Structure 1
Amino acid sequence: MVDTVDTTTRFKAPVKETLLTPRFYTTDFEELAHLDLSLVAEDYEALMREFRTDYNRHHFERTREYPGGAEALTGSMREQFISFLERSCVSEFSGFILYKEIARRIKSRNPALAEGFLFMSRDEARHAGFLNKTMADFKLSLNLPALKKNKQYTFFKPKFIFYATYLSEKIGYFRYITIFRHLEQHPKNRIHPLFTFFENWCQDENRHGDFFSLIMRAQPKLVQGWVSELWIRFFLTAVFVTMYLNDSKAEAFYQSLGLDARVYAMEVFRRTNREAGKVWPVILDIESPAFLRRLERCVTSNQCLAQVTHPLAQLPHRLTIAFNYLKIFLAPPVRTDVRTAR
């Protein structure tokens, strides 16, 4: 599973890529270069001032005791925590690569937008580096340059990048802050020092989400019309289902934190859904009993899928997941008051 680097730390082989693993993206840089931010110019400049201040510049400094946190984790809990670190590191590194490339490609033609993407790439690089250094405490690390070179890139049109990354950043904020607040009240469940950094960490995620919400407000067509509403519902469904499936596979990890994985997921969904309702004209009806029921059917089929390898044996479980995903997507949404840019 790993390749030797030196006598203490080894490169960990990347996990097999599936629909649930983080991906690397590329996009239409020419279209991005022509985005107009005039509708939100004042708010955008205020956000840039926050980015320039860089509130978290000194907030990701490891204490002397930090490396010792790895020694306290053993067995399956150790493996699950490493898996959590790897998924998070790859996700952050993916954001860094995308944001930095966008900034480089559009800098000469849209310097204001490029500046925002460059700040976000700075934050994501800081997060990925911190996570990879934490993995090194377990005598493992990810070969990030090789990952950048060898990873398959998925092309997304800019509007899909906006939908997906807005949701990813906002749901990341609510995931981190929910865990942080819980562990504030139950410090005995803080199984590793990493979680003490989550409050500052999630503020970066929140600013990134605000950045993409401003872009969408500046392009009213991105949130207007039935086609846009269908895409919004598609990405909400995709992000929620993916998170629920991933968290259900890590139930023991969340139990060690004193959390019920399903209760935690639903709380994050509610907060993300409410936040998305400030930008988008539709959100999912996650309070419908059918929503949770269909998620659970996806979990059951995903568990069965992991136990079989033959494509024909996997097909019924894949179809069940696809069917329930479709039912969530097609369920009547909840309408918000958002209609145009504000």
Structure 2
Amino acid sequence: MNVHSADATTVEEGLAIQERQAVLDSETATAVAMQDTLLTPRFYTTDFEELDAINVSPVRADWDHLIAEMRADPNKGHFKKDDTWDHVDWDAMEPELKKEFIDFLISSCTAEFSGCVLYKEMKRRGKNHDVTELFQLMARDEARHAGFINDALREAGIAVNLGFLTQAKKYTYFRPKFIYYATYLSEKIGYARYITIFRHLEANPDKRFHPIFKWFEEWCNDEFRHGEAFALLMKTDPKLTSGVNVWWIKFFLTAVFATMHVRDHQRPAFHAALGVDTDWYGHEVFRKTSDLSKQIFPITLDIDHPRWAKGLRVLQRASIQIDEGKRKGGIGGKLTEWAGAARAALAFAALYTIPAKRHEVPVSTRLEPLY
């Protein structure tokens, strides 16, 4: 019987299926996934005892509604190839597009699996039923997403050994509140990215150069639900979104948006093939994410401020300078790399000091995906 990770009902089942497939995975793709830079997805660990102490009573009604929705598992069986999966001629794909698209898939697979690892560990360590059930359900979803991307990569003759990543990739420690801010934004910006591409390709199907984009609507709805969960977790403690923590929220908003801008501009052929202007796409994703984050964050970034676009361009050029220094090597390369890093730090500081927009946070946190 051919069992697929899309049909797994728990994260353990999904990972076991992928372990059996690991013999097909390539060292090259896994090496790319193992990289640790400012722009690559990371694996995180945190204070699991603090997470275990969360009391969801203040948001019980919304919590139970969300958990019931996730238990119902609307996307079970969805993330696998069906009759609408078009044949992809990887050999005929333009080389630069192929390189950038594979990089996009590997990065996406690593990011999805990063969430799976973190959520699964919380489920394993925790005793708080509310919290462990949530993380079990989210880990299940992320395992499916990562497995589906790996299926797409295998058609190109490569795939990421996810089991090896679990054991070998470096883990970064974040305090729970930083996990909340970073992961909430990761899930919500993931929703905004996927739905923006999906709607664009609905209107321009001739630009859909790979069938995986047909799955983006249901995929981003999983991301949306995960973001809702982290919004509710933050809602349990008002201190997380007030006082000095507002400055941390602004830091993570700036960092996530800036990282996306730089990373996307490293894939010009990918965005050209989709038929989207990278700057337009980035601004549209930032706008959607800002609108969504008003549900829990008391501030949004002023992405229309004249210093915003200018700062992103400087940051992008600094990233290019850092890469040039790394390729050059030697003392000269190091000097170039350090100069680029200093330039990037100043650009980030300029972005961070743009005054934020304040608003009242609504009493009810829950949102529905409307884009």
* Further displaced range: 175-184 or 70-79: 70-79
Unaligned runs of 5+ in 1: none
Post-superposition shift, 1:252? 1.4
1:133 counterpart (151, 158, 163): 151
Post-superposition shift, 1:64? 4.7
The aligned residue for residue 121 of structure 2 is 101
Query: For the Cα contact (< 8 Å) 1:102–1:117, is it kept in 2?
Result: yes
Q: Give the whole-Å Cα distance in 2 for the aligned partners of 1:291 and 1:300.
A: 15
SS at match of 1:154: strand
Q: Give the whole-Å Cα distance in 2 for the aligned partners of 1:149 and 1:335.
A: 43
Matched, 1:34 2:53: yes
Post-superposition shift, 1:338? 2.0
Q: How many residues align?
A: 334
1:293 counterpart (283, 286, 310): 310
| Partner amino acid, structure 2, of 1:291 | W
2:293 counterpart (263, 276, 280): 276
Name the CA shift for 1:341/1:159 in 2 (closer, same or farther; >3 Å).
farther
The aligned residue for residue 323 of structure 2 is 306
Q: Give the whole-Å Cα distance in 2 for the aligned partners of 1:9 and 1:272.
A: 34
Post-superposition shift, 1:287? 0.9
The C-alpha deviation readout for 1:51-83, integer Å capped at 9, x for no partner, is 011111122120256372253524111111110
Q: Give the whole-Å Cα distance in 2 for the aligned partners of 1:330 and 1:271.
A: 22
Matched, 1:323 2:346: yes
**Aligned-CA RMSD value:** 1.6
Q: Give the whole-Å Cα distance in 2 for the aligned partners of 1:340 and 1:207.
A: 19
TM-score normalised according to structure 1 size: 0.94
Matched, 1:204 2:214: no
Post-superposition shift, 1:336? 1.1
The aligned residue for residue 17 of structure 1 is 36
Q: Give the whole-Å Cα distance in 2 for the aligned partners of 1:203 and 1:326.
A: 33
The C-alpha deviation readout for 1:236-281, integer Å capped at 9, x for no partner, is 0110010000001111101100001111001100110111122111
Q: Give the whole-Å Cα distance in 2 for the aligned partners of 1:156 and 1:240.
A: 19
Query: For the Cα contact (< 8 Å) 1:103–1:115, is it kept in 2?
Result: yes
Unaligned runs of 5+ in 2: 1-21, 327-332, 366-371
Post-superposition shift, 1:304? 2.0
SS at match of 1:286: coil
Q: Give the whole-Å Cα distance in 2 for the aligned partners of 1:134 and 1:248.
A: 23
Q: Give the whole-Å Cα distance in 2 for the aligned partners of 1:112 and 1:313.
A: 50
The aligned residue for residue 105 of structure 2 is 85
Matched, 1:262 2:279: yes
Q: Give the whole-Å Cα distance in 1 for the aligned partners of 2:55 and 2:185.
A: 22
Q: Give the whole-Å Cα distance in 2 for the aligned partners of 1:47 and 1:23.
A: 27
| Partner amino acid, structure 2, of 1:123 | D
Q: Give the whole-Å Cα distance in 2 for the aligned partners of 1:147 and 1:302.
A: 26
The aligned residue for residue 77 of structure 2 is 58
